[in-house]
Structure 1
């Protein structure tokens, strides 16, 4: 009999729109490789960019917030594993899963630490250095509680692992370091990529609904790109991403070579046409999908310390990234121009990117480690929960308030 996993999605996966969508598809393919029957359920409406999960044999179910219909659904499904996509879904449905399927292994896929992203954004808006006064925000209280209530939480970045262990004192056995799980890049694939001479212009890409991406576009427009155009007056910056609003499209300026291109169906095609990728991210969390896209397609990249976080490993110096890491806008612009103009430097940085993909995000190794952790946790689930008294306490107190609020909303909706 096949094992069952229920994935409760905050949104339906959009791998062509966001790194979060790509990450979710990697997890889905992992569970398929382990012969799980997968049901993906979400209360969110589907967009045109949503991946058709049924095309790969995954059941798609629409569920409702604050509605007891979920209880019968999950009890009848009786999954071996329930995975929550971001802590908000655990808050909404975790207590129902615990009541109806107490033996199911509960996993939280954090995607990235929302409290870290929120804290950094607030510090940026305040013009202050980020510190624990920004990290220990209200979102952190909810997110860390969710991590404790789950049996395992998947953490995408080593930096976030250290923050959880050192700042929040979360026990190591509740956390699983799991970055992107990527196919290796072969020598044959590398040889087929467009060469330095066959590429032109700069590129940046990212979902425009994601505030760090939109802020980076403004930063390029107002500060960095004018500095670059002085040195490269014929160069263009091609800006791709899903959900370009009117305020984004208004940034388009043909005369300045600042071109809003919008959604692209094949990121590999446009990334291979570009010579250099720009990613001046000033706040955020997690791993940056645009850097992965760049490395996979042999496109060196200029990014910031925030952008580079978790990508290259704590032991790797700035000399061994797939481009440069610079936070000062003038230096950022100069390094981008340098990389654009110098062929040998460009090839050196390109090779670094291939090595990073193959060594740090090796799909086979990551999948083996995850499978082992899931197997061991399932065997020791009773003792694991018994030893996690904080999690049991939060399950008892926090989820009682969530439970009765949900029941009150459901009753109110009936009357309305």
Structure 2
């Protein structure tokens, strides 16, 4: 019997542009390993950087917001599993899925906790200490409601699992930890990496449309790089990422060795040319794909506690974690100039990938939880009264608002 999975995407997957895109491809790979027939549907316009899903036998469908044509589409497809890409998509389509395919397992892929990122951003703007007052924001009310309405939510970070359990008291039955899923780094691959002497310059990576990346880049330009450059006058920093904005272009300064390079198709070959990766994020959530890329390619990092969150567990980092600007710059210079330190931190990166992100450690547990939740769906939903209550009120409010918009659009 062929099992159907419908993924409703917030955007088309762009694995070369963002960690979120890579993450979506990893989830697709898991379900394909169990012979699911997958349909990816989205209302978003397809960009030039979008992955061609048809190459891997994933059907695609363009859908429309606030339109009953989706009801007809999903009823005919009749999927066993529906995966929502972020809570905003569940808000739009969750009630329609529940009405048309009540027996379908509803999974939310949070990507990261948006309420956590938003709360940290506001605390940064207020120059205040981040606490529960910032965490329990309006986004949290929407996001946690979405988690309760779904049968299972994929959480990328152990820290965010803990926040959901301890701060929001979400049942562990509704959550599953699924970090980045990678192939382990073999000793042969490690030995093939360029060594300390073969590398040069600093690097940082990130989609320029992602606000935490842009804030971190401005912090790097204004506060960190001038100090590093003064101590290492021949060093440069090269900034890569998709969707370069005009604001980012204005930061380019060859005289200061601060170079905006933009989009690159193969980040792996590129990263192996560089000596140190700088990730001075001041707010954010989830796991940082740029640090993963650095570890995969043997580039030690200097990052902040925000960048390091959920990455290392009890292991030593592949570099240094510093929030103070002076300490950050000192560690960056030390890592750049000290071969012994550099070699040790590079090896730690390999250990972190193999111990914490090997896909063999998580894939089967995820599939088992999906299957067990499907097999006990009626009982699980009975025990999740909060979710049933929220779905009821969603049907009474969001449903009729959507129908009103649909009628309005017909005029």
Give how far 1:211 is off: 0.6
> 3-state DSSP class of the match of 1:370?
helix
**Partner in structure 2 of residue 186 of structure 1:** 186
Residue-by-residue CA offset, 1:177-230 (whole Å, 9 max, x unaligned): 111111110011111111111000000000000011001111111010001011
**Partner in structure 2 of residue 147 of structure 1:** 147
Matches within 5 A, 1:225-374: 225-313=225-313, 315-316=314-315, 320-374=316-370
> 3-state DSSP class of the match of 1:259?
strand
Give how far 1:234 is off: 0.4
> 3-state DSSP class of the match of 1:286?
coil
Residue-by-residue CA offset, 1:2-52 (whole Å, 9 max, x unaligned): 111000000000001111001000000111111100000000001111101
> 1: CA distance between counterparts of 2:21 and 2:64?
21
**Partner in structure 1 of residue 380 of structure 2:** 384
Residue-by-residue CA offset, 1:94-147 (whole Å, 9 max, x unaligned): 000000000000000000000000010011011111111111111100000000
Matches within 5 A, 1:27-106: 27-106=27-106
| Correspondence for 2:402 among 399, 406, 414 | 406
Partners of 1:91 and 1:399 within 8 A in 2:
no
Aligned residues: 411
> 1: CA distance between counterparts of 2:235 and 2:396?
59
> 1: CA distance between counterparts of 2:394 and 2:50?
33
> 1: CA distance between counterparts of 2:396 and 2:350?
49
> 3-state DSSP class of the match of 1:273?
coil
> 2: CA distance between counterparts of 1:329 and 1:400?
51
Matches within 5 A, 1:148-167: 148-167=148-167
> 2: CA distance between counterparts of 1:401 and 1:250?
45
> 3-state DSSP class of the match of 1:182?
coil
> 2: CA distance between counterparts of 1:365 and 1:343?
33
> 2: CA distance between counterparts of 1:390 and 1:117?
25
Matches within 5 A, 1:186-205: 186-205=186-205
Give how far 1:368 is off: 0.9
> 1: CA distance between counterparts of 2:307 and 2:342?
20
> 1: CA distance between counterparts of 2:126 and 2:16?
33
> 3-state DSSP class of the match of 1:359?
helix
Give how far 1:273 is off: 0.4
> 2: CA distance between counterparts of 1:12 and 1:198?
37
Give how far 1:399 is off: 3.2
> 2: CA distance between counterparts of 1:399 and 1:235?
58
Residue-by-residue CA offset, 1:266-322 (whole Å, 9 max, x unaligned): 101221000000000000000000000000000000000000000001x33xxx110
> 2: CA distance between counterparts of 1:31 and 1:239?
34
> 2: CA distance between counterparts of 1:149 and 1:399?
11
TM-score, normalized by length of structure 1?
0.98
Unaligned stretches of 5+ in structure 2?
Answer: none
Q: Superposition RMSD on alpha carbons, in Å?
A: 0.6
> 2: CA distance between counterparts of 1:390 and 1:235?
56
